[in-house]
Amino acid sequence: MKQFTTFLKKEFAHVLRDRKTLLILFGMPIMQILIFGFALTNEVKNSKIIVVDYAKDMASQNIITKIEASRYFEIEKAMMSAKEIEASFQQGIIKMAVVFPPDFNKDLLHQSTAQIQVIADASDPNTANTLTNYVSSIVQDYQRDLDKTSLLPYRIEPQTRMLYNPQLKGVHNFVPGVIALVLMLVCVMMTAVSIVREKEMGTMEILLVSPFKPIMVMVSKAIPYLILSLINVTTILLLSVFVLRVPVNGSIFLLFAESTLFIITCLTLGIFISVKTNSQQVAMLISLMGMLLPTILFSGFMFPIENMPKALQIFSNVVPAKWFYIIVRDIMIKGVGLSEIWKETLVLIGITLFLMAVSLKNFKIRLE
């Protein structure tokens, strides 16, 4: 035990004394979340939309005024045919079109129900989602106002159409993706380098000629990065909740528990790379090319897995980030509990145990 604590102390010293790396490690998640976050929110602000009002009655005018009042939209009123609207979308002039059918007010008063067509350019699904949600809530708001003055419940149904990407697949939310990405970067790359560094610096040569246990070296190398990564997860969550206003709908405790699991997966992956390689450069390259790219490509964070060829879909199953991304997305966005994500959790545990066993088995007790 005393041996283990000295190993641990030494590893903390390595991590904490390398100030530049430490700065990058803490700065990176903040940078990423802000870049991803603001690149997104800026687009939603002042989005160009057109309002096609075939009704030109009191109800439609009231709703339009409400939409105009919002700082999210830059609206233009025009009488366009369906074809002209389509053309505007294709030229990328507008992000959304809101169409009031003729007799909007009449339908509302006589049948208590009326429809608005909301068409959005979903090639940028995040923006499309935000814009349509916003319009829907404005419409609902108006509907509530009406209900107050009347005995009959009114219903205005926004008929939403997502152009180009009707199911909004791919980017549900980037925060889970950034968490996966940052953890992958920090944990895999840093641990991948750590054991190799001992080989390169020659300290492994001395360490081997001592009664140390490989498992002790591995665990003590992993723990500082585990703590560091948990701090990073906290930063990302704080930023996403308070700066980007992305809520955490599920249990925070569960989210942290799952993050810890994924961090351990990444750490063992890093250690595995470290055990198998002989130079820091190779370890770095493997963790970048071999781990980071698959994380971005196959986690479903940037590109929908469903659209990929079958072979790649099967391959995506061995990418730990894919499972973690599903878990975080489900906890954060859908707010589900462990009962819904136990399968993904089991897969992650399985991958982790497998990597641990393989790393221990491959740990070289000699120089060759």
Q: Which of 42, 91, 210, 339 binds other proteins (CB under 8 A)?
A: 210
Q: In this chain, which stretch among 8-16, 34-42, 299-307, 313-321 interacts with other proteins, using CB under 8 A?
A: 8-16
Q: Do residues 170 and 304 touch, judged by C-beta distance below 8 A?
A: yes
Q: Which of residues 309-368 bind other proteins (CB under 8 A)?
A: 365-368
The gap between the terminal CA atoms of the chain, to the nearest Å, is 29
Strand-by-strand arrangement of the 155-163 sheet: 73-77, 47-53, 96-100, 113-121, 155-163
Shortest distance, CB of residue 5 to other proteins, whole angstroms?
8
Residue placing its CB nearer to other proteins in the complex, 14 or 161? 14
245 near other proteins, judged by CB under 8 A: no
Q: Which two tokens stand for residue 69?
A: 């009042």
Shortest distance, CB of residue 191 to other proteins, whole angstroms?
17
Give 287-308 as a DSSP string. IIIIIIHHHHHHSSSSS-GGGS
Q: Which of 78, 208, 254, 338 binds other proteins (CB under 8 A)?
A: 208
Q: Do residues 212 and 294 touch, judged by C-beta distance below 8 A?
A: no
Going by C-alpha positions, the residue among 345, 286, 289, 338 that lies closest to residue 320 is: 345
3-state secondary structure of 139: helix
The site string for other proteins over 212-241 (x = CB under 8 A, - otherwise) reads: x-----------------------------
Per DSSP bridges, beta strands 96-100 and 113-121 are: antiparallel
280 near other proteins, judged by CB under 8 A: no
3-state secondary structure of 52: strand
How far, in Å, CA of 293 to CA of 35, rounded?
Answer: 19
18 near other proteins, judged by CB under 8 A: yes
Q: Which of residues 185-204 bind other proteins (CB under 8 A)?
A: 201-203
Q: In this chain, which stretch among 123-131, 210-218, 225-233, 319-327 interacts with other proteins, using CB under 8 A?
A: 210-218
Q: Which residues bind other proteins (CB under 8 A)?
A: 2-3, 6-7, 9-10, 13-14, 17-18, 201-203, 205-212, 365-368
